[in-house]
Structure 1
Amino acid sequence: MTRVYRLAVQSPGAVTAVRSSLWSTMEGSCVLLLAAALGLASGFPPGGWLDLSPDEPEIKKLVELAVRDYNSLSDSDAIYRQLRISDARKQLVAGIKYEFNVFLGRTLCKKGREETVNSCPLHDTAQVKGVKCNFSMLRVPWLNETKILHRLCSNEDVAEASPSPNQAVESSVTEDELLETLSLFKEFVTTYDKKYQNDEEALRRLRIFHGNLKKAKEIQEKDQGSAEYGITRFSDLTEEEFRTLYLNPLLSSQGLRPMKKAVVPKDPPPAAWDWREHGAVTEVKNQGMCGSCWAFSVTGNIEGQWFLKKGSLISLSEQELVDCDGVDKACGGGLPESAYEAIEKLGGLETEKDYSYQGHKQRCSFSTNKVSAYINSSVEIPQDETQIAAWLAQNGPISIALNAFAMQFYRKGISHPFRILCNSLMIDHAVLLVGYGERNGVPFWAIKNSWGTDWGEEGYYYLYRGSGACGMNKMCSSSLID
């Protein structure tokens, strides 16, 4: 069955579709996608060789690189330059593979003058004692990389110059890795219905995706818990893009202001507790490409408090806070304690239905006639995790903030990054703590996130409990309702 990626963007008056040739489905192989991506002619079948003229610009450019490589590795003090090219051809693999022979002549110039190589006069024996090299090179346009896969040069004076073992291994791994990456990227684009403006943007995202696969693997190798990291819908974003679009820089730059201290229960907490099982948690929501996590964290807390005090679970409006909180920065971030104060001043929150979420700041349209929940004050909860568990089990879900270091690529399981990698001083994401427990003897916190149900475990993050992992205990707070 043939499937085509839906990669298009809206433009004024029309839908501009990304060239479908870029995203043609590959039956059994990723090379057809690559062929289309590179805009190659239909007469150039994947795996087949196409002869090239030595005058082709692409060959001339590659020969320049090959000659420069030869000069850098040769034992001779003299610079060699191109005499002629023969047997040039290319093949579509995980990129474009080129093979050619280049005949090099010895010049009178010494190393250190490589910039003038083409103007260097030939030695009078150059035509007789030239060097013949056979090169195999791989060009990967979307990674902006060109690699020498194989090099074999010979004449009377210069020994065989072949690639180092590291180069050979790197080339072999890279080709296999690129084929796998293309297949994974195809699946990623389909799964998350990704749309890019044009071929150039798609190839840029492919390159970022490739790098993020390696990052996720590194996080996986260093994690101390049972978490699985890998491809998420954020896998085509750079770290900076992810932080800018989804996280909250104000949490670490401003920190928690002094608040009234919560009264902690004297009785020890139960072994496990989950407010989802007791009806105090609404569905997982999605903040979109807006740093409004602070609003979702606070409304989630108030939803739980209202349920416990008034007996009804109401989905409350985050957009009201984004629009009407004059202290916080809407999609630019905010602080839970400021949000509590804003809600008190406004007089309460409307429902999600009455004041629906848009994911960007608008003119405040809050109406006191539509208030469905209010708060009387707010408190700060101690940083001791046993006390946090005790307060949560007795009083309801808690607004917390943490370092989201491991969350861009989190898929499931109990996340437990090394402390040095998930610094508690670099808090950048607000979430809702809804419960705690153990899995196979490993203690965890159950955390409701605001990135939709297609992230993590149906929208939830499970974090190791007992070590203050990722600073989750540093900014715990709750509203109070009389």
Structure 2
Amino acid sequence: MEAWLLFLLMLSPLLPGGEGWRLPLGSDPALEAPAQFAMEIYNRGRDPGAAAVPQSVRGRSLKMAHGMLYSLEVTLQEPPCGPPTACKDSQSSGTLLCRFEVLDQRWAKETLLKQDCGQPGAPSLPGSSSHQPPITPSQGDSVQLITLFKDFLTTYNKSYANATETQRRLGIFARNLELAQKMQELDQGSAEYGVTKFSDLTEEEFRTFYLNPLLSSLPGPALRPAPPPKGPAPAAWDWRDHGAVTEVKNQGTCGSCWAFSVTGNVEGQWFLRRGTLLALSEQELVDCDTLDQACGGGLPSNAYMAIERLGGLETEKDYSYEGRKERCSFSPDKARVYINSSVDLSRDEAELAAWLAENGPISIALNAFAMQFYRRGVSHPFRPLCSSWFIDHAVLLVGYGNRSGIPFWAIKNSWGPEWGEQGYYYLYRGARACGVNAMASSAVVD
């Protein structure tokens, strides 16, 4: 049990309605602490004798990147309101059905995301149950789900070993649809979340195959600070419009995002200094960078050092991407580009924008919480869910601008052009969203 939940249970006799508080019979014991927290918030400010009492608790939990999200249905019994000040709402006495969403994070204070109360009989939460049954195609109320799942299998050419695995993936798909819906409700931008090619993966699978935990766990070598930009940033800029960005690539099921981020940066730097845009080899870094861990993750700062040590980068055509670590076959005679050094960039987003417009695309790393189910639009995740403390994906910053008054960063990803907006992610600019400013760097080509 999370520490804050245990602490809350210890304090329960001190909370309004807390003395003698017990989960109603038949309820899932795992829901007791979040339900009690929701009731404490609901009853806050009331006289002790006016506290509402839960009659039933139903719901479910969703495991998220750094905590749990609880969706609860609680049937409450409101005591009769004697003096008008005894209850918050003198018309609220009787039986109410309340829907709560409680976010429990391991590293921050708990949060009540939603409180919606009304008369019993209102539609219930999708799938809310003390014991969630497995979802099967024979369930009459799952026709829409099955249709979405079949469309998903066709769109992304998915297939599974047997019926048992297909059924398991359907259950994961259903839970992921719910999580995408929660993300949609909490997003503060214009993003659309929903079905993507990752919708049949658990969070653990997604993080293992496509993300890079080393970005948060290893500091890496310190880089010298970059000279500040010479002037303020233009209102908007996009290096795709100026020929400095290659086509979107695909890292596959290999945690090599660090290599794609760095090669993208070097491609842009070489173009700006030499006038030629070359698609460079990520596989060379996966195979030959002994400072990093290939598909197990790596750091851009290490990759710059590896390029200098090796003597340059081959092109993707000469050293093609395999998506797995193989024997290093780098040939110095085939190296087409080199770098002289690398620099660390400012964490100030205005300075980052100005530096980008003057000097080219930037290697960055961010928290990829919102990216598994991102489809389009400007993503602005609820801040506690996308903290800069948990950087786990390296990408390439290629531009910035505004959409309908929403400032954004344009970010080239490495999950293929069928993901996001033709392979790009648009993230809110100006609020350090998802740690976008936390690990910006660039190679230097003299």
Q: Could you state the TM-score of these two structures normalised by the residue count of structure 2?
A: 0.70
Name which of 166, 188, 210 aligns with 2:152.
188
SS of match in other structure, 2:224: coil
2:252 and 2:281 map into 1 onto residues whose CA distance is 15
For residues 314 and 230 of structure 2, the distance between their equivalents in structure 1, rounded to whole angstroms, comes to: 35
Residue 240 of structure 2 is aligned to residue 288 of structure 1: no
In structure 2, the residue matched to 1:269 is 233
Amino acid at match of 1:451: W
Please give the alpha-carbon distance, in whole angstroms, between the structure 2 residues aligned to 1:172 and 1:302: 48
Q: Which residue of 386, 392, 395 maps to 2:359?
A: 395
How many residue pairs align between the two structures? 320
Aligned pairs (5 A) from 1:397-476: 397-476=361-440
Name the structure 1 match of 2:304. Answer: 340
SS of the residue 1:375 aligns to: coil
Conservation of the 8 A alpha-carbon contact between 1:245 and 1:289: yes
Give the one of 174, 177, 199 matched to 2:163: 199
Cα distance in 1, alignment partners of residues 419 and 369 from structure 2: 15
Secondary structure of the 1:280 match is coil
The answer for unaligned runs of 5 or more in structure 2 is: 1-24, 27-119, 129-134
Per-residue deviation at 1:410? 0.1
Q: Where do residues 19-168 of structure 1 align in structure 2 (5 Å cutoff)?
A: none
Query: Is the Cα–Cα contact under 8 Å of residues 256 and 475 in structure 1 kept in the other structure?
Result: no
> CA 1:205 to 1:166, structure 2 compared with 1: closer, same or farther past 3 Å?
farther
Report the counterpart of residue 248 of structure 1 in structure 2: 212
> What's the counterpart of residue 274 of structure 2?
310
SS class of match (2:175)? helix
Letter of the aligned partner of 2:157 in structure 1?
D
Give the drift of 1:264: 1.3
Q: Deviations over 1:93-115 (max 9, x none)?
A: xxxxxxxxxxxxxxxxxxxxxxx
Contact 1:247 1:293 in 2 (8 A): yes
Contact 2:410-2:425 within 8 A present in 1 as well = yes
Tell me whether 1:326 sits opposite 2:284 in the alignment. Answer: no
Matched, 1:358 2:322: yes
Superposed displacement of residue 329, structure 1? 0.3
Within 2, Cα distance between the matches of 1:448 and 1:171?
35
Kindly provide the CA deviation profile for residues 356-382 of structure 1, in whole angstroms up to 9, marking residues without a partner as x.
Answer: 000000000000110011100000001
Query: Structure 1 CA distance, aligned partners of 2:121 and 2:394?
Result: 44
Following TM superposition, by how much is the alpha carbon of 1:258 offset from its aligned partner in structure 2, in angstroms? Answer: 1.8
* Bigger-Rg structure (1/2): 1
Match of 1:229 in 2: 193
Query: 2:222 — aligned with what?
Result: 258
AA matched with 1:321: L
Deviations 1:280-339 (A, max 9, x none): 000000000000000000000000000000000000000000000001000000000000
Preserved contact between residue 220 and residue 302 of structure 2 (Cα < 8 Å): no
Distance apart, 1:419 and its partner CA: 1.3
CA contact (8 A) 1:442 1:464 kept: yes
Partner of 2:45: none
Q: Which amino acid aligns with 1:257?
A: P
Cα separation, 2, equivalents of 1:195 and 1:355: 31
User: CA offset at residue 448 of structure 1?
Assistant: 0.1
Matching residue's letter, 2:389: L
Checking the alignment, whether the CA contact within 8 Å between 2:375 and 2:420 is kept in structure 1 is: yes
Q: Distance in 1 between matches of 2:294 and 2:122?
A: 50
Distance 1:412 1:189 in 2: 20
Q: Distance in 1 between matches of 2:289 and 2:127?
A: 56
Distance in 1 of aligned mates of 2:292 and 2:127: 52
1:406 is paired with a residue whose SS is helix
Q: Distance in 1 between matches of 2:157 and 2:254?
A: 19
How big is the shift at 1:210? Answer: 0.5
Deviation of the 1:257 alpha carbon: 3.5
Moved more, 167-176 or 210-219: 167-176
CA change 1:169–1:335 in 2 (3 A) is closer
SS in 2 for 1:435: strand
Q: Deviations over 1:438-477 (max 9, x none)?
A: 0011100000000000000000000000010000100000
Q: Secondary structure at the match of 1:221?
A: helix
1:214 aligned residue (172, 178, 195): 178
Supply the distance in 2 between the matched residues of 1:166 and 1:242 (Cα, whole angstroms).
38
> How much has 1:198 moved relative to structure 2?
1.0
Return the letter of the residue paired with 1:409: F
CA drift of 1:255 comes to 3.1
Runs of 4+ in structure 1 deviating by more than 6 angstroms, as ranges, are 165-168, 170-174
Helix, strand or coil at the partner of 1:411: strand
- Cα distance between partner residues in 2 of 1:190 and 1:473: 38
Letter of the structure 2 residue corresponding to residue 441 of structure 1: G
2:224 partner amino acid:
K
The alpha-carbon deviation at position 418 of structure 1 amounts to: 1.5
- Say which SS state the counterpart of residue 284 (structure 2) adopts: helix
Aligned sequence identity (%): 68
Please state whether the residue corresponding to 1:188 is helix, strand or coil.
helix
C-alpha separation between the residues in 2 aligned to 1:168 and 1:192?
33
